[in-house]
Structure 1
Amino acid sequence: MGFGKYEPELIENKWQKEWTEKGAFNVEADESRPKYYVLEMFPYPSGKIHMGHVRNYSIGDVVARYKRMKGFNVLHPMGWDAFGLPAENAAIKHNTHPAEWTYANIDDMRTQLKRLGYSYDWRRELATCHPGYYKWEQQFFLKFLEKGLVYRKKSPVNWCETCHTVLANEQVEEGLCWRCDTEVIQKELSQWFMRITDYAEELLESLGELEGGWPERVITMQRNWIGKSIGAELDFEVENSDETISVFTTRPDTLFGATFMSLAAEHPMVEKLIEGKPEADKVREFVHKVSNMDRIVRGADDLEKEGVFTGAYCINPLNGQKMPIYVANFVLMGYGTGAVMAVPAHDQRDFEFAKKYDLPKQVVIQPEGETLNVAEMEEAYTAPGVLVNSGEFDGMPNEDAKGAIVDFLGKSGKGKKSINYRLRDWNISRQRFWGSPIPVIYCDECGIVPVPEQDLPVVLPEDAVMNEDGRSPLPDMESFHKVTCPKCGKMAQRETDTMDTFVESSWYFMRYTDSRKADAPFDSKSLEYWTPVDQYIGGIEHAILHLLYARFFTKILRDEGYTELSEPFKNLLTQGMVLKDGAKMSKSKGNVVDPNAMINKYGADATRLFILFASPPEKDLEWSDQGLEGAHRFLNRIWRLAEEFEGKLSATGACAKPSMELSSDAKKLRLKEHETVKRASRDMENKFQFNTVIAASMELVNEIYSLKDKLMETEDGRFALSSAYSTVLTVLSPIAPHICEELWAAMGYEGYIAEVEWPEHDEAALVTDEILIIIQVNGKMRGKLSVPAAASKEEIEETALAHENVTKHTDGKTIRKVIVVPGKLINIVAN
């Protein structure tokens, strides 16, 4: 071939077409080969890829290509997380149906991703909004409903007025809707929930299996979100009543110091406690105010503590003292029982509340050798100590007292050991159109009736017209919601809520193993072969949303017999963000870089190369136009070498074994080549440090440039150049695949470079004939010396003393001592 100017677009289009036509990355299960499943979190089809996508999918593609070269049977699929509010809102804005909008965006984004040369098996592509996908999700729902793992109840929920839908706790961020930043309010609605709390202990315990494969930060975030607490449940009798209020506490050792009780505004006892009391109106007003506060804000440490007295009292089960009952803004129904025994001397929140409302404090734990005076305390004492003012438990270490007090109360039926979790059941009901319909029917005669399995999927109507205010059109569409009851045949009402879109992303990685299967959600043999996902790649923002839900869904499907898998993702890489001018790219900041524009100007390979070179995968990356230009220049340097070598070098292969004696310069290049492969192999395997792989390749290219003129003159030199250049192309091929395929073919190789084996370094090639010695005079560096590797101390000393710069700095001085550190340095002491 004749070499002209490096034109990325021509080369990239050529190879993308070639890979597609030949099905280069199509893959099937093959029990005779080791498998590797690499997956990036699939995108929402917004219509345009952004630089975050480019980074995420470039990382995944390098892993996929590298693992193929290492001999693995690699599954690398792509699809679309296609349901959700953005499509619905865009459809409203453009006066179209969300399906039309979504599929058009999918077409656009597929084209963009293909331009980047990602090695996907596109035959496995899926879209979660397709009835052939969500049909199985509806089947799962019915199975879970049958087993009691899905249920419906009326409860206070997080409501976004802008999105007109409920949000799960995990979707409320600092009191705001995670999508639109509208302030979230509390609303009482009947909703569908999945019993994720049934799996709280297993979700917590099996985090241990992920240590070493998942970032510790993500494991900690999940552990904290599940929030296991070991403590006790204590019963407080309500004065002049048969009622009792149960309290969960991790500090039963402080029970003698409980001086009042705090209830959540939503606690079911509040109305009973205030009935007929003069405080009733004031309490109801406070309850209304607090109920509309965000739960995250209410649980924050810096929240100003507020409350109101109910007019009622309860009895401390240990000492029989009356305790006033308050409703407090910092107590949540979502944790424990929604009631807190307040111990102001030993809990900071209670201390602040007691101080504000002039409530009594009682010290019951003293630090060793000290006496706390409650009147002088400026904050609660929360450290260990011994019990005081605690009857028969006085003098006991507080840790020992925890069990002793619970055992004592247990004998009278007033307390028991208990475990509590912060995790709440997953609210999956959404009051919007663009989601998977919940497959149940409401009948006045039969109650809640599951849609018969043979009637699945319940399909979203194609003739739905979106409401301008965002409300779902389904409740107004009789053609959708007016149905006959499958049990009694009478008129009934179909559920108009749709499922949370996180349900779709909780199992998509399983569907990829056989995404076209029409009679089951997945093929059991394919699922068993491919899963778990060996390497999952995505943002840290999904730590307690998608990643927790996917783990839960995997375990629930296991227990229902769909899979033997317990954990979906063996290894997790959370890539950093792409920044510009120090901030995350966004339209509002005006700092967005369009990937299409960069590809048009510099090519896909240069864009990939830069985004992988600029930072290690897990760190944030600062965008640099100059950096991208530098990547383009580097690829041009590789191109010019091929131009110079055309017709002059034979195709030796990477890290080829020489059949002839090599000159010192050829050995020098071969040394650099094998150092490069050793370093690149290590860094590919060790957390995918692609930036140092690229840096090593750049150093090898520099070495080729420095030696090529001399080496082109001899047979052994041309051999060394061919091997080293082939190594450059091989090592860089997962990162910049198009140019490497083109130049590989230009060198006369058969087949794709994507299919060759990853080169192995030869330790013998790393043994050098010469070593570099640093020369110091009186501890200061005065030169460098190349000596034979086998040189003796005496030979090194003699050569160093004769060095021009050494004689200059020792002239007229007496050499007192010569210290030789073999293989490193020589220090000459003179005065």
Structure 2
Amino acid sequence: MAELNFKAIEEKWQKRWLEEKVFEPQRDPRKPKFYITVAFPYLSGHLHVGHARTYTIPDVIARFKRMQGYNVLFPMGWHITGAPIVGIAERIKNRDPKTIWIYRDVYKVPEEILWTFEDPVNIVKYFMRAAKETFIRAGFSVDWSREFHTTSLFPPFSKFIEWQFIRLKEMGYIVKGAHRVRWDPVVGTPLGDHDLMEGEDVPILEYVLIKFELREDGEVIYLPAATLRPETVYGVTNMWVNPEAIYVKAKIRRGDREETWIISREAAYKLSFQDREIEILEEFKGEKLIGKYVRNLVTGDEVIILPAEFVDPDNATGVVMSVPAHAPFDHVALEDLKRETEILLKYDIDPRVVEEISYISLIKLEGYGEFPAVEEVEKLGIKSQKDREKLEQATKTIYKAEYHKGIFKVEPYAGKPVQEVKELIAKELQEKGIAEIMYEFAEKNVISRFGNRAVIKIIHDQWFIDYGNPEWKAKAKEALDQMTIYPESRRAQFEAVIEWLDKKACARKVGLGTPLPWDPEWVIESLSDSTIYMAYYTISRHINKLREEDKLDPEKLTPEFFDYIFREGFSEAKEKELAEKTGIPAEIIHEMKEEFEYWYPLDWRCSAKDLIPNHLTFFIFNHVALFRREHWPRGIAVNGFGTLEGQKMSKSKGNVLNFIDAIEENGADVVRLYIMSLAEHDSDFDWRRKEVGKLRKQVERFYELVSEFASYEAKEGIELKSIDRWMLHRLNKSIEGTTKALEEFRTRTAVQWAFYTIMNDLRWYLRRTEGRDDAAKRYVLRTLADVWVRLMAPFTPHICEELWEKLGGEGFVSLAKWPEPRKEWWNEALEIGEEFIKSLIEDIKEIVEVAKIENPKRAYIYTAPEWKWRVVEVVAEKRDFKAAMAELMKDEEIRKHGKEVAKIVQRLIKERAFDVKRIDEEKVLREAKEFIEKELGLEIVINPKEDKGGKKKQAMPLKPAVYVE
């Protein structure tokens, strides 16, 4: 057979689907509806094969439900809100070489188009066209009549967002105030998750800065030590600074307080964004501080400043307090200094000063003595600060154990749990002015899409969505409790996110978006305008038509209009009133209202797992705020990520395979099937070109087989042999398995059933029926082809349409009836019989190989006697040695085999062999005798009277005894 021309087949059916509007559902109250959406793509570049997974899953499910008889809505829009696209335009305008390389060489944007990207509008127009082409080429069954994009560049949707924000503000869910945000210090804008090139998941830590007093020439100077464990201030033995780092002496003004601090140069920069005015007085190396003493304002102790290279000036303040009894790093650093006395002498420090440092025990911890850090270091065999990995491990172990199980030993907090003491001490120190708060990223690699390193800024007069509102949280939890989550294991993460979510900046002054209706100098940011657009899809077909006919003035789409469509009950009077105000005919407003009420609630929201901490949870919050209970969403399905040849995909490193390129290279159906076969739910997948090539050959084989079977007749009422009925039974199993897996979004399992299992079963069937060309076989193969094409249609829709046409199927396979198991095909005994034959063939092959029998002629097969079947069945029923033996010993025939029975029962219970179904082994063997002989090249003798080799007694149910000569 000539190589399959995937592209020609795909183009043929894509054209037919679009021309006949196959996937543009109309409201139909007679049919059950199924509404599924996926997070629309953010269009700063081409979609890659990682995105392909996210978008193919809902398409497979949409196709499956359509074939089940549901009226399915699967729409698509485009997300162009935010600062990243503006940042790209700026970098192209400035001829940034890396950006130009990404867009010219990785994304393959033609040079003449690339330079138009200096205008961000041209970027989104280009990638919207490209994304739509990719989706069509992938065979996605999208209703394109509902297409739209975000921002004020699409006024009707912008008005919908204005309505959403006006109502949220009226409810008290949008507030103005001060809050910490990730911030691009160069561009001057807050950064949401989608505004980051790196570091989306990096948490913000809240350091307590505890001030240690240094007096020089009568001047009071503070060294603020940053700590996540303020309670350990009672155990400080010394301070650490990095002798090679640059520190600054600076005036720190906050409110009406002014103090002089010594901190790292990096800290001074970062603190300048956190409600502090910083005036640098001088700069110097940290070595200038070594050997000086500072006073612990909590205990009154004077402690020495010692050198430590492990102190990172770019982490918090670059000043660290040393608590060696409870901090492994501090203990090991002191031990290193004791050994390396030349370092101390360099700074004129008497080594005896370090030798005489006494550790202070603060926390009682079960399983440890006075100094937990010392014990953990010894336990892990840590020798020096160079054992950084082990030190990190020791630190995690001690900090976690002390926080959760430690009891504080120092007055006035003695006897209280550490986690309680920590909060009390932090609060008390701040009230006394001894401590302040500094926010810091847990890692440094938080980079904005403008290419700048982010800082944490305290913003005043910023607009926030208050996800911390307790009443709102309660409603979000209630909605989550009623939802189905796939995989269910992700529910706990959703619960945790709802719990910790607080105020979130929802507007900025840079980027594309919808202006904040009451404060238009602000633009609503990308994660805030993408929470309820699934509701907009329900009316977007009508909006788009009105726009095409030039019958819509978006300015007249007032909040009152959206209130009626999405929040109120039907009212003819209201529709007439709105018709006068909007210019939209009352009957069209009525149809919009009907569409929303028909399609809502949303049945499924699909996206990747990285959106759980933001978009997917915001989606729940905003729905419960704005819609009636009966319109709250029903389910969320979460998928994992993709890697390329074992490596994380990164456009900055050029390690990206564009979705459209994968389709060009392999064909859409192969790409779809490959991605769906690799991973279940939120587990990740790895794209490997070699494996895709192998799958392509298997898909071609599928096409070849079904094409061949299409010429056969499927006459009913033909007498079938056991192997024919086995094939139909296995086909039933694949129908059932595929259906169940797709109902639960388990695409990998579904592909296993629909493609690989049927392919393997068919291979066995063709082996078993080799040489036969009768009506029964042709009936089975033609029947199988009809079912197989429909089972595969959600995964490989293009070639299945082609095959459906060959099979003489009516209409599109995309709209054909989903197969259901046929009652008369079920026959478990036939399946057991075939497994029995397969197993026997393998056993005989193994016997010949292990026994090294040259030129074997004959195999004698002995099946289990009736009494052994009885033993197996009683054990399966009783599942207990004593109970089974008691029952069996009632049988006179079985009692004759006394000790042997006991051994068999014991073995069966040990192996938990409780699921054995009886078949007529001898009958099965005699029916398959010719096939077994052909497979093995041996004469098969079944149950001869002669006991060859004394093997007969070894026979067990479904495990016959075999002797080969």
TM range (shorter): 0.5 to 0.7
1:291 and 1:306 mapped to 2: Cα distance?
A: 23
Structure 1 residue 664 corresponds to structure 2 residue 722:
yes
1:611 and 1:434 mapped to 2: Cα distance?
A: 33
Aligned to 2:196: 178
Q: Secondary structure at the match of 1:83?
A: coil
Structure 1 residues 567 and 778, CA, compared in 2 at 3 Å: closer, same or farther? same
Matches within 5 A, 1:529-540: 530=599, 533-540=602-609
Aligned to 1:765: 826
Q: Are the counterparts in 2 of residues 820 and 826 from structure 1 also a CA contact under 8 Å?
A: yes
Q: Are the counterparts in 1 of residues 624 and 632 from structure 2 also a CA contact under 8 Å?
A: no
Within the candidate set 19, 36, 59, 2:17 is matched to: 19
Aligned to 1:426: 504
1:732-778 per-residue CA deviation (whole Å, 9 max, x = no partner) reads: 11111122122223322223222233222246533344442545699
Shift of 1:557: 5.4
What amino acid sits opposite 1:698 in the alignment?
M
Within the candidate set 484, 504, 509, 2:529 is matched to: 504
Q: Secondary structure at the match of 1:158?
A: strand
Structure 1 residue 523 corresponds to structure 2 residue 588:
no
2:632 and 2:287 mapped to 1: Cα distance?
A: 43
2:188 and 2:420 mapped to 1: Cα distance?
A: 47
Q: Are the counterparts in 2 of residues 815 and 830 from structure 1 also a CA contact under 8 Å?
A: no
Q: Are the counterparts in 2 of residues 290 and 329 from structure 1 also a CA contact under 8 Å?
A: no
Shift of 1:577: 0.6
1:348-396 per-residue CA deviation (whole Å, 9 max, x = no partner) reads: 68889999999986323334697526997878865467868545876x4
Matches within 5 A, 1:339-738: 345-346=325-326, 362-367=360-365, 372=370, 383=401, 390-391=410-411, 396=415, 398=417, 425-439=503-517, 450=518, 495=521, 497-516=522-541, 518=557, 519-520=561-562, 523-524=566-567, 530=599, 533-544=602-613, 548-552=614-618, 554-556=620-622, 558-559=624-625, 561-564=626-629, 570-580=635-645, 582-586=646-650, 589=653, 592-593=656-657, 595-597=659-661, 599-600=663-664, 602-616=666-680, 618-646=682-710, 648-650=712-714, 659-686=717-744, 687-689=746-748, 690-693=750-753, 694-702=755-763, 706=767, 712-714=773-775, 716-738=776-798
1:86-137 per-residue CA deviation (whole Å, 9 max, x = no partner) reads: 5433484624643344224322321231122211111221211322222332
2:861 and 2:32 mapped to 1: Cα distance?
A: 49
2:734 and 2:236 mapped to 1: Cα distance?
A: 68
2:651 and 2:174 mapped to 1: Cα distance?
A: 42
Aligned to 1:118: 140
Shift of 1:719: 2.5
1:103 and 1:797 mapped to 2: Cα distance?
A: 68
125-134 or 784-793, which deviates more: 784-793
1:550 and 1:806 mapped to 2: Cα distance?
A: 65
Within the candidate set 800, 804, 822, 2:957 is matched to: 822
Q: Which has the higher helix share?
A: 2
Shift of 1:46: 4.5
Q: Are the counterparts in 1 of residues 951 and 961 from structure 2 also a CA contact under 8 Å?
A: no
1:765 and 1:675 mapped to 2: Cα distance?
A: 8
Aligned to 2:440: none
Structure 1 residues 160 and 703, CA, compared in 2 at 3 Å: closer, same or farther? farther
Q: Secondary structure at the match of 1:20?
A: helix
Q: Are the counterparts in 2 of residues 551 and 568 from structure 1 also a CA contact under 8 Å?
A: no
1:637 and 1:605 mapped to 2: Cα distance?
A: 13
2:844 and 2:708 mapped to 1: Cα distance?
A: 45
Gaps of 5+ in 1: 172-176, 185-220, 237-246, 296-304, 334-338, 440-449, 452-457, 459-494, 653-657
Q: Are the counterparts in 1 of residues 642 and 687 from structure 2 also a CA contact under 8 Å?
A: no
Q: Secondary structure at the match of 1:571?
A: strand
2:674 and 2:315 mapped to 1: Cα distance?
A: 50
2:527 and 2:253 mapped to 1: Cα distance?
A: 36
Instruction: Give aligned pairs, total.
Output: 688
1:704-753 per-residue CA deviation (whole Å, 9 max, x = no partner) reads: 75578766532x33322221111110111111112212222332222322
TM-score for the superposition, normalised by structure 2: 0.57
Q: Secondary structure at the match of 1:45?
A: coil
Q: Are the counterparts in 1 of residues 331 and 374 from structure 2 also a CA contact under 8 Å?
A: no
Aligned to 1:291: 271
1:369 and 1:597 mapped to 2: Cα distance?
A: 59
Q: Are the counterparts in 1 of residues 163 and 562 from structure 2 also a CA contact under 8 Å?
A: no
Gaps of 5+ in 2: 94-113, 213-224, 241-246, 276-285, 306-310, 338-348, 378-393, 434-467, 469-495, 544-556, 568-592, 850-858, 865-916
Q: Secondary structure at the match of 1:58?
A: helix
1:806 and 1:568 mapped to 2: Cα distance?
A: 65
2:231 and 2:620 mapped to 1: Cα distance?
A: 40
Within the candidate set 185, 189, 192, 1:166 is matched to: 189
What amino acid sits opposite 1:159 in the alignment?
D
Shift of 1:294: 12
What amino acid sits opposite 2:953 in the alignment?
V
What amino acid sits opposite 1:820 in the alignment?
A
2:772 and 2:196 mapped to 1: Cα distance?
A: 61
Aligned to 1:201: none
Q: Are the counterparts in 2 of residues 49 and 109 from structure 1 also a CA contact under 8 Å?
A: yes
TM-score for the superposition, normalised by structure 1: 0.64
Q: Secondary structure at the match of 2:34?
A: strand
Shift of 1:49: 3.8
Q: Secondary structure at the match of 1:506?
A: coil
Q: What is the aligned-residue RMSD (CA, Å)?
A: 6.1
Q: Are the counterparts in 2 of residues 532 and 570 from structure 1 also a CA contact under 8 Å?
A: no
Report the identity percentage.
23
What amino acid sits opposite 1:427 in the alignment?
A
Q: Secondary structure at the match of 1:821?
A: coil
Aligned to 1:212: none
1:797-826 per-residue CA deviation (whole Å, 9 max, x = no partner) reads: 9999x985899xx99985176233323x13
2:49 and 2:368 mapped to 1: Cα distance?
A: 60
Shift of 1:515: 2.9
Q: Are the counterparts in 2 of residues 701 and 728 from structure 1 also a CA contact under 8 Å?
A: no
Aligned to 2:281: none
What amino acid sits opposite 1:680 in the alignment?
T
Q: Are the counterparts in 2 of residues 712 and 718 from structure 1 also a CA contact under 8 Å?
A: yes
Structure 1 residues 567 and 167, CA, compared in 2 at 3 Å: closer, same or farther? farther
Matches within 5 A, 1:769-780: 769=830, 770-771=833-834, 772=836, 774=839
Q: Secondary structure at the match of 2:56?
A: helix
2:504 and 2:808 mapped to 1: Cα distance?
A: 59
1:659-696 per-residue CA deviation (whole Å, 9 max, x = no partner) reads: 44322342233233223323323433452224413212
